[in-house]
Each structure stands twice: as structure tokens, then as C-alpha cells.
Amino acid sequence: MRKAWLGWTLLGAPALIAAGCATYPDQATTRQIAEKMVSEDYSAPTPALLKRLVQDKSQQICSKIGGAALTPAETDEVLKLARASIKYPASGKLVGDWKAGDTLAHDGAGDRIQGGRLEQRKENGGLCQNCHALAPGEINVGNVGPSLTGYGAQRGNSEAIVKYTYEKIYNAWAYFPCSNMPRLGATGHLTPEQVAHMVAYLIDPQSAVNRK
Amino acid sequence: MSGNRSSVAAIALVCVSAFAQGAGDPLAVGRQMLAEDNPGELWIDQGKNLFYEKRGPQKASLEQCDFGLGPGKLEGATTRLPRYFPDTDKVQDLESRLLTCMVQLQGFKREDLIKRAISPAGSSGSDVEALAIYITSRSNGMKMNVALSHQKEYDMYKAGEYLFYRRSGQTDFACVQCHGDSNKRIRLQDLVNMTDPKQIQEVVSTWPAYRGAHFVVRTMQWRLYDCFWQMRLPELVYTSDTSIALTTYLHHQGNGAVVQVPGFKR
Amino acid sequence: MAEPMKIRATLQVDTADVRILMQHPMETGQRKDAKGAIVPMHFIQNVVVTHNGKTVLDAQWSQAISRNPFLGLRVKGARAGDRISVTWTDNKGDTRTDEVAVAAPA
């Protein structure tokens, strides 16, 4: 009697599972399914451009579901990789022309892919205005990031501030691992010279950002 | 001279008091106007005509199309999408299922539909957009109710969640970078916090929508494509699994939202 | 081919609240296309609204009116079932007429 009961149960359990008691896949399976989608579901004019979808090590760490916290080891790794990525302008000058930086800061275009073509302009825009308040009185500015109004007026333009500002724009993750801010210089969206112009835009006492 | 000054002063006074009256919420009147008279309604009417018209090489209407509740049953159908369809063995959203029916029932070529689905800004719109907004309008007033029961639906949901947080490209953006906090905006465009269940409801209930700047109806497929464009990433393929995974995740998170189309976007 | 309008006319006591959505490019003739060529003028020049055949509004529009325009008006002395007819004519000679009956309040 007992044996028969056991027999039926052993038969029944796998049948139940096979019948599809569907459930959430585990993390590894999800990753496999999703990465396969990413590799198949986009088009670009060249294979090189498709590589934009491939994550680097830092991006992989910084893609935690639900905004979960980093472990100390992960924090260290992102910081280390970010600091190692920083490149300075060939001239060694970290402060460029604030007027050029002003133009860049308000330019949200460049390097987008549409209709099988890459948006190629003289240079990529800095995208700053999308997320940051800049010169006082400007209305059409975002608030995803903190206000930069009066940046230089508040901090001065010591060598330390200049270096910090340059590095923060070049690779924000060198100071705030997994920050929402793009690693503009490190990912190649902006050149070191462009970053220097933006430093000037923030730091220069004459810059519109520091106007009263 | 003094006469001019006093008339100017009078005009200024009128302007100031008119402004002061609306100071409570200066956008409320405009919002109400757009809610009551949305050009998107023109495409709902067009979509209805297209739905019943015998079209394509097979000269058939879409009345036999099954959007999940049985052939031709439209009322409430989009509240359950995306969902698994046994005949295609795939999880499909509205636009994907629409394409399936336009190909199978009407004989259109899939590549042709994909090419014209997203119409150029300022054009008279595409048949796909009109049909999508008509079919969705048949769920107006009903609550979003996306269920997860087939394994592929669970897979899609989790994949969508994974993709929502997946950072890539030179902007290091995933969806969450812009849609992970409340009271944020890009320039003057308010951003929905999609980690907040209440705010997601606004997302799932107001697409398809009339996009004012484009003068045509835009759909969720278009919205996802446009996000990836701004993120400097390659072009998202229309009705791809990636797009359906993200839509499954968002729609399920937005369950309970009351459908109200046409939406109105800037 | 002129696209149909969407007209709603709802009775409020003795006044019909008329809302009209039109579909029209309303090109100003000042825009340039992607290739740099001027997109030709194509806009509604005249809108006529009649109430039971009698003209209640005769509007001359210019390029200043936006694409897919909305027109709202209130017609006094209306009753449920009255005919409201709207006709637009554009600078190319294209025209569209749509008509609706005034609906009693819900």
C-alpha cells in the first residue's frame, strides 16, 4: 500500500513540474536570455557601432537590479578602473576656453544612430544642459544632476579644484562609482580638450555660470 | 504722451490680473483642453475604419484577429498585453500581434509593415499607428491587468527588469538613470520615475499618444526606440524581444492603471 | 485626399458647445525639408460653420494656425438634433465638409 502511494507520488511530482508550474527564472538564466536579446535585437550601420551595446567591467558592476548596493570590493574595482582611465590634454592645460565650454554645455546632439546612419558632426555635444542648471536665469535646463550655477564662484579655481573638476567630468565614477553621470571623457564621447573647455566654463570667474 | 502711458498702464494691469488668476496651476487649463480635445482622436477614428476595412492582398479585415481574448474581441484586450500566444509560441505586445494578424489575415509583407509602422513626423501617420491606438481605445476606462502564467511570460518579465538596469554605451545609461528618481526632468521634460508603481501607471495608460512635436500618433514601440537613440545606442528593432521584454516588465508593474488614450505628449 | 474632421456638439441649456478637430498639414511655406528645399504652402484658408444651414462662423485663416488645428465655438439658440456643418477650404482648393447633430447633454 505504502509502496504504491510512493510510486504514484514519484510519478506525479515530475509530471506536475513538466506540466509547467511556471516561475521566475533565476538570475543566471535571466542574464542569458536578456544578453541573447541584446545581441540580436539592434541594428547599426557598422559592426563597430554594435559594440556600443557590449558592457565594460564597470558597467556590468553598475547594472545592479533594483539599485542594490555595491560591495566594498566592487566599489574599489570601479574606482580603480575609473582612475586609471583618466587622460589629460596633450598640452597639459586643464582649463580651456570658457566660451567654447559654454557652447558645448548647451549642445545635446552628436553621435546618435538613426535610419541606418551615424549622426556625425564637427564634435559631440557635452549634454550638460539636459541634466544640470548652468548660467543663472536659464530656464530650459534639467535637474537630474545638481545645479552648477555659481560653480567657480563657490569653489574658487585652485589647482586642486581644477584637477577635481577635470577628472569629475572626464570620469565621474572616479569619485562616485556608478554615478548616474556618463563617463564623458573615458567613454570617448568627449575629447580631453573638450573637457578642458567645460572646466573653464565652470571655473572661470568671467564665465556666464559665475555671473551674478 | 501721458495718454499713451495711462493706456499702456491699463493694459499692463489687465495682463497682470489675468496672470494672477491662473497662478494656482498655470498649466491646468491647458492640460484640461488637451484632455478634452486631443488630435489623437482623429487617428482612433481612422484606426476603426482600417480595422473593419478589407485590406491587403488577401482583402480581409482584422475582425478575425485574436489579441488574446479570442478572434475579434477587442474590449479589454490591451489590458492583458503583452502575453503569450500559442499560435506563434511567443510573448507579444499589441504592435507585434497586430503585425502577426496583418501578415496572416491580410497578406501584407512583414518587412513592409515594419518599414512604415513608425511614420515620419508631420505625415498623415501610418496604418499601424492608427490601428494600435484604435484597439487600445477599446480598453479605455479599464484597468491594466497583465498576468504572468506561461514560463515565457515570466522569462520576459525578468529579462525586461534586467534590461531596465543594464548600462551600456558612451552615455553609461540604462533606463534607470533617467527613470529612477522622482521630480526629475531633462531640460523641461518631466521624467516618470519607473521604480515607483504609482508613476508607472501613467506610462502604461497613456500610450499610444499624440506627440505634439511630431503631429502624429506615437506608440510604446516608438518610445523605446527613441530612448535608445538618445542613449547613443544602436537602433532597437521594431517589435523585437528586447522591446517586448521591457514592455512586459513595465506593463506588469503598472497593473491597476486605468487606460485612457489618446495620451498627449509634448 | 482630405481627412475627415471629428466634430462634437453638446447642448448646454440653449447653447451648443462645438468642438472640431481637423487634420491638415498647415504648411507655412517657410519650412525647409531635409534636402534644404522649401516645403510649399498648404494651409486652410477658410472655415465656415453653419447651424441648420445658416452661417454662424466664417473664418479666414492664415499660416499662423498650427498643424492639425482645433476649433471651438459656442452657438446660441441651439436645440438637440440641430445640424452643425463645418467646411474648410485650403489654398490648393482642397475642401472637406463634415456634419453632426447637436447632442442632448448626457
Per-window interface: A 59-118 vs B, CB < 8 A: 59, 62-67, 108, 111-114, 116
Instruction: Give the C-alpha separation, A113 to A105, whole Å.
Output: 21
Please give the pLDDT value at position C2: 87
Q: Are B166 and A63 inside 8 Å of each other by CB? A: yes
Grid cell 506536475 in the structure block, residue: A16
Q: What is the mean pLDDT of residues B197-202?
A: 94
- Helices B40-52 and B127-137 pack at an angle, to 10 degrees, of 100
Query: What is the distance between the terminal CA atoms of chain C, rounded to a whole angstrom?
Result: 34
- Sequence length of chain B is 266
Grid coordinates standing for B213?
A: 512635436
- Interface contact C6, partner B, CB < 8 A: yes
Grid coordinates standing for A26?
A: 533565476
- Whether residue C91 is contained in a domain is answered as yes
- Interface contact A5, partner B, CB < 8 A: no
Q: What is the mean pLDDT of residues B246-263?
A: 97
Neighbouring subunits of B (3+ Cβ pairs under 8 A):
A, C
Q: How many CB atoms lie within 10 A of CB A60?
A: 13
pLDDT bin (cut points 50, 70, 90) of residue A81 is very high
Interface test with C, best of B215, B216, B217 (most C CBs within 10 A): B215
Neighbouring subunits of A (3+ Cβ pairs under 8 A):
B
B166 neighbourhood in chain A, CB within 8 Å = 34, 38, 55, 63
Whether the per-residue pLDDT at B6 is higher than 60: the answer is no
Q: ∠ CA A172-A199-B232 to the nearest 5 degrees?
A: 50
- Interface contact A145, partner B, CB < 8 A: no
Written as one letter, the residue type at B216 is V
Please give the pLDDT value at position B16: 36
Q: Report pLDDT digits (tens) over A136-156.
A: 999 999 999 999 999 999 999
Please give the pLDDT value at position A20: 59
Q: Report pLDDT digits (tens) over A32-67.
A: 999 999 999 999 999 999 999 999 999 999 999 998
DSSP conformation class of B186: E
- Sequence length of chain A is 212
C68 neighbourhood in chain B, CB within 8 Å = 39, 42, 215
- Whether residue C77 is contained in a domain is answered as yes
Q: Report pLDDT digits (tens) over B223-241.
A: 999 999 999 999 999 999 9
Q: B124, B264 in Cβ contact below 8 A?
A: no
Residues whose CB falls within 8 Å of the CB of residue B226, separated by 6 or more in sequence, listed in order: none
Q: Report pLDDT digits (tens) over A181-202.
A: 999 999 999 999 999 999 999 9
Interface test with B, best of C3, C32, C96, C100 (most B CBs within 10 A): C3
Instruction: Give the C-alpha separation, A153 to C24, whole Å.
Output: 52
Phi, psi of C33 (to 5 degrees): -80, -175
* pTM attached to this predicted model: 0.90
Instruction: Give the C-alpha separation, A105 to A190, whole Å.
Output: 11
Q: What is the mean pLDDT of residues A68-84?
A: 97
| CA distances from residue B29 to A197, B21, B25, B34, B55 in whole angstroms, order as listed | 43, 11, 8, 9, 41
Q: Give strand ranges (E) for chain C.
A: 6-12, 15-21, 44-51, 54-60, 70-76, 83-90, 95-101
Burial B92-101 (b: 16+ CB within 10 A, else e): bbbbbbbbbb
pLDDT bin (cut points 50, 70, 90) of residue B25 is confident
Which domain CATH number covers C58? Answer: 2.60.40.10
Looking at the complex, report in whole angstroms how far the Cα of residue C21 sits from the nearest Cα belonging to chain B. Answer: 6
pLDDT bin (cut points 50, 70, 90) of residue A9 is low
Grid coordinates standing for B248?
A: 512586459
Q: Which is more confidently placed, B105 or B23?
A: B105
Instruction: Give the C-alpha separation, A208 to B246, whole Å.
Output: 41
Q: What is the mean pLDDT of residues C48-72?
A: 96
Instruction: Give the C-alpha separation, B158 to B249, whole Å.
Output: 7
* B121 burial type by CB count under 10 A (0-12 exposed, 13-18 middle, 19+ buried): exposed
Q: Are B122 and C25 inside 8 Å of each other by CB? A: yes
- Interface contact C2, partner B, CB < 8 A: no
Residues whose CB falls within 8 Å of the CB of residue B248, separated by 6 or more in sequence, listed in order: B82, B91, B93, B146, B153, B156, B157, B160
Residues whose CB falls within 8 Å of the CB of residue A159, separated by 6 or more in sequence, listed in order: none
Q: Report pLDDT digits (tens) over B76-97.
A: 999 999 999 999 999 999 999 9
Q: Are B39 and C21 inside 8 Å of each other by CB? A: yes
Architecture per CATH, A83-210: Orthogonal Bundle (1.10)
Instruction: Give the C-alpha separation, B158 to B244, whole Å.
Output: 11
Q: Nearest chain A Cα to B195, which residue?
A: A66
Looking at the complex, report in whole angstroms how far the Cα of residue B128 sits from the nearest Cα belonging to chain C. Answer: 17
- Whether residue C1 is contained in a domain is answered as no
Please give the pLDDT value at position A22: 93
Q: What is the mean pLDDT of residues B93-107?
A: 98
* Residues of B assigned a catalytic role: 227
Alpha-carbon dihedral angle through residues A29, A34, A37, A38, given to the nearest 10 degrees: -140
Please give the pLDDT value at position B34: 80
C23 neighbourhood in chain B, CB within 8 Å = 39, 42, 124
Please give the pLDDT value at position B167: 98
Please give the pLDDT value at position B75: 98
Q: Are B42 and C3 inside 8 Å of each other by CB? A: yes
- Whether residue C32 is contained in a domain is answered as yes
Of all residues in chain B, what percent carry a pLDDT higher than 70? Answer: 91
Whether the per-residue pLDDT at B12 is higher than 80: the answer is no
Looking at the complex, report in whole angstroms how far the Cα of residue C39 sits from the nearest Cα belonging to chain B. Answer: 12
Containing C47, the helix (H) or strand (E) segment is: strand C44-51
Mean predicted lDDT score pLDDT of chain A: 93
Residues in B whose CB is inside 8 Å of some CB of C read 36-39, 41-42, 45-46, 122, 124, 215
Neighbouring subunits of C (3+ Cβ pairs under 8 A):
B
Please give the pLDDT value at position C106: 78
Whether the per-residue pLDDT at B13 is higher than 90: the answer is no
Domain covering B38-258, topology: Cytochrome Bc1 Complex; Chain D, domain 2 (1.10.760)
Nearest to A172 by CA among A162, A185, A154: A185
Whether the per-residue pLDDT at B8 is higher than 50: the answer is no
